[in-house]
């Protein structure tokens, strides 16, 4: 049976249950990337992401409900920005993998250095003549 058949039967967590479920949607991650550079109105986000304003608003509502995005009124528009406190659980979870990747890259570096050393020590065809 294909995985998609099981997928239909499995219960899914609501996208507003936590930050992890909210950022499972690629367009929401794209919104967060745009907001890294500062506050933006929904119209600018929609334009830059090539989506409709209602689509962008829906994504922003989810991000706001889980605490990843905040807004403030500025005249007739709302400016949306990142909420650093909401990103903390994601940062802490990802941070747990930093040691793993650091050790992996250290081992790779040691391996490359050993290969380079072996190459320098190996006799070359020119030396045998």
pLDDT of 7-36, one tens digit each? 555 445 566 678 999 999 999 999 999 999
55-88, pLDDT tens digit by residue?
999 999 999 999 999 999 999 999 999 998 998 9
Would you identify the CATH topology of the domain 1-82? Arc Repressor Mutant, subunit A (1.10.10)
Prediction pTM value: 0.69
User: String of b and e for 42-74 (b: at least 16 CB within 10 Å)?
Assistant: beebbeebebeeeebbebbebbbebbbbbbeee
What was the pLDDT predicted at 127?
57
Closest alpha carbon to 81 in 52, 45, 27: 45
Query: What pLDDT band is residue 128 in, cutting at 50, 70 and 90?
Result: low
Domain-by-domain residue ranges, the chain? 1-82, 84-122
């Amino acid at each position: 049976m294909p995985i998609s058949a099981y997928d239909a039967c499995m219960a899914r967590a609501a996208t507003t249950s936590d930050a992890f479920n909210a950022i499972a949607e690629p367009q929401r991650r794209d919104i967060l990337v745009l907001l890294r550079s500062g506050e933006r109105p929904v119209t600018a986000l929609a334009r830059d992401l090539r989506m409709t304003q209602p689509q962008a608003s829906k994504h922003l509502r989810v991000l706001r409900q889980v605490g990843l995005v905040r807004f403030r009124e500025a005249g007739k528009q709302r400016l949306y920005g990142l909420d650093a406190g909401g990103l903390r659980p994601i940062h802490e979870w990802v941070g747990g993998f930093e040691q793993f990747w650091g050790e992996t890259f250290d081992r790779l570096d040691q391996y490359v250095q050993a290969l380079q050393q072996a190459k320098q020590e190996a006799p070359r065809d020119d030396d045998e003549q």
